[in-house]
């Protein structure tokens, strides 16, 4: 328990509490929690070690430390996460955006830069969650419009918050639906998605931050048909994409080659796999 309201001592107490709870990188997380609690950036804590927490801030930090020690993810506690240079709101019910998913945004932006001839082009982020993929793409591709689709009302709550915060209300339509079922034929130019790709035999090895708190349906593939989300996406994309059109799906190295074959069977003749910066097969994509 924190016995002082000085920032330096509060941060040190937070570090010890998180270390005892087995949190990796406890020092960084302690500083992040203290900074978020005070609504300042971490650099402020370093520059002002004698700044004081108010009694309310001290109580909030103690509560946050208990939650983090119980392995609740840091972004759910602070309700913020960085993705592709954007600060986004995130909380329970929405998958926490990962750095590796930024590769999906990069691939889209590369492809979109060669499609300047398109008139009012539209992208779809299927399973949008917090809206991270769509919002990152739209913030860098100002001529594009977007549609974010998710069947979770809780996830769409966070997407709406982020859409408003980034001033993209008029460019991103959010729909509660299942994958691509709500799209009209030949109505969009790019389809991006980070579908579930965790296999059942991988679940127990994941960190408790994931298995206890993040939405299981956004992570775990169906045990009896691991490729089902990708098959539905590929069939929907065949119907909804205009030509030329892009489909890009995040996957795992255990599924990437099979996902490429799914795209091929659904009419995408030359699917390709892009590796992330760690050399892992990460994105399966194709054009038509």
Quote the pLDDT of residue 1: 46
Sign, Cα dihedral of 65, 66, 70, 72 = negative
The last residue of a domain, from among 51, 70, 89: 70
Please tell me the distance from the alpha carbon of residue 94 to that of residue 1, in angstroms, as a whole number.
30
- Domain range for residue 203? 81-287
Give ∠ CA 75-40-15 in degrees, rounded to 5.
60
Q: Considering only CA atoms, give the Rg of the chain.
A: 21
Please tell me the distance from the alpha carbon of residue 61 to that of residue 179, in angstroms, as a whole number.
39
Structure-block tokens of residue 57: 């801030």
Q: Do residue 134 and residue 169 come from a single domain? A: yes
Q: For residue range 222-278, what is the model confidence (pLDDT) as tens digits?
A: 999 999 999 999 999 999 999 989 999 999 999 999 999 999 999 998 999 999 988
How many of the other CB atoms lie within 10 Å of CB of 269?
A: 9
User: How do the pLDDT tens digits run along the chain, 288 residues long?
Assistant: 445 578 888 888 899 999 999 998 999 999 999 999 888 888 888 888 888 888 888 899 999 999 999 999 999 999 999 999 999 999 999 999 999 999 999 999 999 999 888 888 999 999 999 999 999 999 999 999 999 999 999 999 999 999 999 999 999 999 999 889 889 999 999 999 999 999 999 999 999 999 999 999 999 999 999 999 999 999 999 999 999 899 999 999 999 999 999 999 999 989 999 999 889 999 999 998
Quote the pLDDT of residue 4: 54
Please tell me the distance from the alpha carbon of residue 288 to that of residue 270, in angstroms, as a whole number.
9
Q: Do residue 264 and residue 219 come from a single domain? A: yes
Q: Do residue 53 and residue 115 come from a single domain? A: no
What are the φ/ψ torsions at residue 127 (nearest 5 degrees)?
75, 50
Q: Do residue 41 and residue 134 come from a single domain? A: no
Q: Do residue 33 and residue 99 come from a single domain? A: no
What are the φ/ψ torsions at residue 242 (nearest 5 degrees)?
-85, 170
Q: Do residue 267 and residue 206 come from a single domain? A: yes
Quote the pLDDT of residue 138: 98
What are the φ/ψ torsions at residue 189 (nearest 5 degrees)?
-110, -20
Cα-Cα-Cα-Cα torsion 186, 189, 192, 195, nearest 10 degrees, comes to 10
Q: Do residue 55 and residue 101 come from a single domain? A: no
């Amino acid at each position: 328990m924190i016995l002082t309201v000085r920032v330096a001592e509060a941060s040190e107490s937070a570090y010890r509490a998180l270390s005892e709870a087995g949190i990796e990188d406890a020092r960084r997380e302690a500083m992040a929690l203290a900074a978020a609690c005070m609504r300042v950036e971490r650099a402020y804590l370093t520059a002002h070690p004698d700044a004081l927490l108010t009694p309310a801030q001290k109580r909030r930090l103690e509560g946050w430390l208990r939650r983090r020690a119980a392995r609740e993810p840091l972004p759910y506690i602070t309700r913020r996460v960085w993705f592709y240079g954007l600060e986004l709101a995130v909380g329970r019910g929405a998958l926490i955006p990962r750095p590796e998913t930024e590769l999906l945004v990069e691939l889209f932006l590369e492809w979109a830069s060669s499609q300047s001839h398109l008139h009012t082009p539209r992208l779809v982020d299927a399973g949008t969650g917090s809206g991270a993929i769509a919002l990152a793409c739209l913030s860098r591709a100002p001529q594009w419009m977007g549609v974010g689709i998710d069947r979770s009302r809780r996830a769409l709550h966070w997407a709406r918050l982020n859409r408003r915060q980034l001033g993209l209300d008029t460019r991103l339509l959010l729909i509660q639906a299942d994958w691509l079922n709500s799209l009209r034929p030949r109505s969009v130019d790019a389809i991006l998605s980070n579908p579930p790709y965790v296999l059942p035999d991988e679940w127990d090895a994941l960190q408790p931050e994931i298995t206890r708190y993040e939405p299981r349906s956004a992570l775990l593939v169906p045990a009896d048909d691991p490729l089902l989300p990708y098959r539905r996406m590929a069939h929907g994309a065949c119907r909804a994409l205009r030509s030329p059109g892009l489909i890009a799906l995040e996957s795992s190295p255990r599924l990437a080659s099979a996902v490429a074959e799914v795209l091929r069977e659904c009419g995408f003749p030359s699917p390709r796999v892009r590796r992330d910066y760690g050399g892992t097969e990460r994105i399966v994509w194709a054009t038509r």
